[in-house]
Structure 1
Amino acid sequence: MPAWPGGPCPRCGEDMPANLVHCQTCRELLNEDLEHDTVEIPAFHPLKELAVRIDAFPIGFYFQCPDCRKELRVHKKYLGKQVSCNFCQSTIQLPDESHSHVASAFYTKCPHCEEELRIARKYLGSVAACKFCKGHIQLLEKPADPVDS
């Protein structure tokens, strides 16, 4: 079956480029070897929507009190400082930000829905879905350093 060589459409006379199946104006079949029932229109398959992934950083951390063993929720602004345990009132020296890996978990707000999430340290660096809104977030320990140009 030869391809459409190009030229005027037999129905509307509009000039059509080569290798077309249908006239772009009136949709007439341009190849005489084809019949309307032999041309299969492929099924429409919508493309999977790309998920928006937003970076999320810790707002604070969860540490265990060395005296009473209760878990403390500590904002990151207190890292490297002395704090009192809310349960036993003992004084605790928190590690600085470079040693925050001793925390059992961290917390952050979902950048999509603003709900607070508790995230285990093992998930840092990975992509996850918010349990509330299913929004995709990348869990990072801290923002990347700017690249000098």
Structure 2
Amino acid sequence: MPAWPGGPCPQCGEDMPANLVHCQTCRALLNDDLEHDTVEIPAFHPLKELSVHCDAYPVGFYFQCPDCKKELRVHKKYLGKKVSCKFCQTPISLSLRSKQTKSFGFYTNCPHCREELRIAHKYLGTVASCKFCHGHIQLLEKPADPVDS
């Protein structure tokens, strides 16, 4: 089947450039060898919906004071530093792996609705759902912030 050589459309007479299938004006087929039913339309297969999730990192941690046993909410910037308990003023060296201080979990903000979430350490690295907006969140442990020298 030769390509359309160009010239006037057989139906409307408008001049058409070469290698067209349909007339740009009246949409008539320009090649007699082609028919409207020669093109197969593929079957429609809907794609599986993907659940979108956003990454969330710990903003801070919950620790238990080794002396008064009260719960302390501490921002992550204080990890590895000495702080004092706001209830009994006991000096505490904050570390997630320390035997002196026990960490209950961490807190972060939902990237979808900005509500604060309290999460246990065992959920780090998993995908969870926000209890407020039900948005999917991947809970990741962010690398340590760079230290200025």
- TM-score of the superposed pair, with normalisation by structure 1: 0.62
In the alignment, which residue of structure 2 is the partner of 1:139?
Answer: 139
Change (3 A) 1:132 1:47: farther
Change (3 A) 1:70 1:15: same
Letter in 2 for 1:82: K
In the alignment, which residue of structure 2 is the partner of 1:78?
Answer: 78
In the alignment, which residue of structure 2 is the partner of 1:116?
Answer: 116
Q: Give the distance between the partners of 2:85 and 2:40, measured in 1 at CA.
A: 78
Q: Give the distance between the partners of 1:102 and 1:140, measured in 2 at CA.
A: 20
More helix by share: 1
In the alignment, which residue of structure 2 is the partner of 1:55?
Answer: 55
Q: Give the distance between the partners of 1:85 and 1:121, measured in 2 at CA.
A: 22
Does the CA contact (< 8 Å) of 2:64 and 2:102 recur in 1?
A: no
Alpha-carbon displacement from aligned partner over 1:65-109 (angstroms, at most 9, x marks no partner): 0000011100000111111111111111112x6x38952100000
In the alignment, which residue of structure 2 is the partner of 1:25?
Answer: none
May I ask how many residue pairs the two structures share in their alignment?
109
In the alignment, which residue of structure 2 is the partner of 1:15?
Answer: 36
Aligned residues: CA RMSD: 3.1
Is 2:64 the counterpart of 1:64?
A: yes
Q: Give the distance between the partners of 1:76 and 1:66, measured in 2 at CA.
A: 19
Task: After the TM superposition, list the runs of 4 or more consecutive aligned residues in structure 1 that deviate by more than 4 angstroms.
Answer: none
Letter in 1 for 2:141: E
- TM-score of the superposed pair, with normalisation by structure 2: 0.62
Q: How does 1:85-124 map to 2 (within 5 A)?
A: 85-95=85-95, 99=97, 102-124=102-124
**Stretches of structure 1 lacking an aligned partner (at least 5 in a row):** 1-13, 21-45, 144-149
Letter in 1 for 2:36: D
Report how far residue 18 of structure 1 moved: 6.7
Q: Secondary structure at the match of 1:66?
A: coil
Q: Determine which structure has more spread, i.e. the larger CA radius of gyration.
A: 2
Once the two structures are overlaid, the 10-residue window that deviates more, 46-55 or 73-82, is 46-55
